[in-house]
Amino acid sequence: MTYLSRIAIVLALACASVGCGGPARLPRYAISGTVTYDGKPVPSGSLRFTPDFDRGNRGPATTIMITDGTYRSVDGFGVLGGPYIVEISGFEALPPEQAQAMPMPKPLFKPYTTVIDLDKKGGVKDFDVPAK
């Protein structure tokens, strides 16, 4: 068996195992909004949107960064809609001179989890993390 034949067989097996072209990509819709803690904008952090499998939602999870109390998904990497579990992490703002040194900012709160139902077309969803 020649070297090229072996390569062709390996590629064919790899293609068959993952499916050439794969299934059509699920449409993900843009989502954006504000995130506050104790009534004030969260300076930085993240939101992790995970489909709620227990409530019948399937699909990819996505993480979106919070900047100055707002978040916006990147086109094509938003949400599918339906029930989601959202984990929110928020951090204190760093003065510019400290931000350049890239230290880990202090958390504003322990990661906060909530369950929501999103419109099938994404849209705007605001979050208010309650003060403890």
Domains along the chain? Answer: 27-129 (2.60.40.10)
Residue 20 has pLDDT above 60, yes or no: no
d(CA 65, CA 48): 9
pLDDT of res. 119:
85
pLDDT band at 120 (very low <50, low <70, confident <90, very high): confident
Q: Stretch 58-72: mean pLDDT, rounded?
A: 94
pLDDT at 85: 97
